[in-house]
């Protein structure tokens, strides 16, 4: 059900991104298709969770920026392990590419905040407009998931 994201997936990725109820975009135009393409082809890689030809979750990581750019699951598809599976696939791949710590940010008080804490991310301060910044090192990931 998880596979690498392709350019042809971008319209469905955008549907999922814009359907979420937390960490919403104030303007969907802030993340144009060209940016998604840049991240999945040049900066890093993306993955999708697909069922019956429909994308219901995706993750995108940037090796060049050393951050998780996106991880979203369609509303109503949560609590099925989709987000965690996408997260773990993305993190394994990232640390196969880089020894550098990785970071992400999310809004405080959201389910995403709890998700990242449970996954072992360490809060390191604030980012942007009051978001929580989290980081994880390769050693932390290895200790949590035993990657080689």
pTM of the model as a whole: 0.92
Does the pLDDT at position 127 exceed 50?
Answer: yes
Q: Which domain holds residue 113?
A: 2-145
Q: How far apart are CA 54 and CA 66, in angstroms?
A: 29
Using a 10 angstrom Cβ sphere, with 0-12 exposed, 13-18 middle and 19 or more buried, the burial of residue 125 is: exposed
Pairwise CA distance, residues 93 & 72, whole Å:
18
Give the number of domains in the chain.
1
3-61 tens-digit pLDDT: 999 999 999 999 999 887 776 666 667 788 999 999 999 999 999 999 999 999 999 99
Strand, helix or coil for residue 58 = strand
CATH number of the domain encompassing residue 134: 3.40.630.30
């Amino acid at each position: 059900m998880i596979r690498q994201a392709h350019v042809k997936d971008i319209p469905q990725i955008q549907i999922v991104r814009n359907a979420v109820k937390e960490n919403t975009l104030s303007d969907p135009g802030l993340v144009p298709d060209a940016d998604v393409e840049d991240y999945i082809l040049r900066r890093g890689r993306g993955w999708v969770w697909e069922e019956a030809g429909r994308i219901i979750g995706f993750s995108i990581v940037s090796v060049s920026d050393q951050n998780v750019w996106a991880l979203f699951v369609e509303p109503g598809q949560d609590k099925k392990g989709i987000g965690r599976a996408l997260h773990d696939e993305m993190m394994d791949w990232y640390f196969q590419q880089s020894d550098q710590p990785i970071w992400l940010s999310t809004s405080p008080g959201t389910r995403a905040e709890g998700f990242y804490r449970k996954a072992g991310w360490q809060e390191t301060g604030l980012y942007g407009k009051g978001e929580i910044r989290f980081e994880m090192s390769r050693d932390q990931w290895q200790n949590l998931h035993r990657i080689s």
